Structure 1
Amino acid sequence: MKKILLAAALLVGVSFTTFAQSTGSANRFSIGLEGGAPIGDAADFYNAVIGGSIKFEHPIATSTAFTLSAGYSAYLGKTVAGIKNPSYTAIPIKAGIKYHFTEGFYGEGQLGAAIGTKSGSKVAFAYAPGIGYDFGGGVDIGLRYEGWAIKTNNGLGNSNSVTLSQIAARLAFSF
């Protein structure tokens, strides 16, 4: 089901980019460093989140762009009751819409998947609403909430949904 949702989001995005009128703006790429603070249940097992990402933006209307991003994120495990929790690493791939409210200030929403990098890891449904400011000259800073919903199995035939959540910041350089 998650793969179908991701495919649908990508198809809608590609449709928008194919049929949208040109706004005169150019496509942009950005490379960013990311850091986050785990929140909710994730804060009980992880100290911090670090990573990086690449993002592509394609204008689809005045002040609006379709985005595609991919990256690498690591939830760094913390020691709980003398036991070191292992880190959890994933490759998040997301598509979204970015809207500029003013020349620099924007809001963005993204949906996608976070693909675990370790053997036996599951694919999580990823969602990330956020805000940011484009300072011009290629510097952009964003702040977002990001959640990864993962279905787990307790080994007794019962499935459960767990969400790894974070408040994250991204410092990016665009070109």
Structure 2
Amino acid sequence: MFKFRLLLFAILSFYATILKAQNTTNLSIGAEIGLPSGNFSGISAIGTGGSIKFDLPISNQLAISLNGGFMNFFGRRNQVLMVKDLTYIPLKAGLKYYLSEGFYAEAQLGAGIPINETQKTLAIWSPGIGNIFKLRNKGLLDVGLRYEGWTGKNDNIQLLNSSNTKGFAGLRIAYALEL
């Protein structure tokens, strides 16, 4: 029994040392801006939204990221064209790799769940980079820049967007807390 307790204590001590060396878990809430590119810019000029992101470290330089939010791309409107807004709830998961202190590269995959009845669920892929800045109040500022592609067919706007991928450059500015 004594050997079992000693072994358990040694394992827990080793595990605590590893956890102390890892990055901390972050929870961030932020605003998002999307600037459509390619054919997508023909039906929307800008997208805005917000998101909540959870980063769970698995090593000193690698973390799993979970991201959920809301994104609305405003449809272009003029005398001839009346495109409805594209409103989605993007749910993504991916990996975040820290290249240096605060600076990271990230890749995410997920799904875009439509709010509008006429839209379909889309596959999402997103590579990006970002930096985390420490603030005076012990919080963090997370600024990320990414390219995001939403792949899937929407029959109601096929004439205006012949591509199956709606791509945009995204900017996320978020306030993060270390948990």
Please report the TM-score for the alignment, with normalisation by the length of structure 1.
0.80
Q: Deviations over 1:9-59 (max 9, x none)?
A: xxxxxxxxxxxx644433210001000110011001101010000000000
Mapped partners of 1:114, 1:38: distance in 2:
16
Selected match of 1:91 from 67, 77, 89: 89
Indicate conservation of the 8 Å contact 2:72/2:86, yes or no. Answer: yes
Q: Would you say how many aligned residue pairs link Structure 1 and Structure 2?
A: 150
Amino acid paired to 2:145? L
Helix, strand or coil: the match of 1:43? helix
**Residue number in structure 2 paired with 1:114:** 112
Gaps of 5+ in 1: 1-20, 155-159
Q: Deviations over 1:125-171 (max 9, x none)?
A: 000100011112310101000010013458xxxxx861111001000
More strand by share: 1
Please report the TM-score for the alignment, with normalisation by the length of structure 2.
0.78
Mapped partners of 1:99, 1:80: distance in 2:
44
Indicate conservation of the 8 Å contact 1:45/1:80, yes or no. Answer: no
**Residue number in structure 2 paired with 1:48:** 46
Selected match of 1:145 from 131, 147, 154: 147
Indicate conservation of the 8 Å contact 2:39/2:163, yes or no. Answer: no
**Residue number in structure 2 paired with 1:105:** 103
Sequence identity, in percent? 38
Helix, strand or coil: the match of 2:23? coil
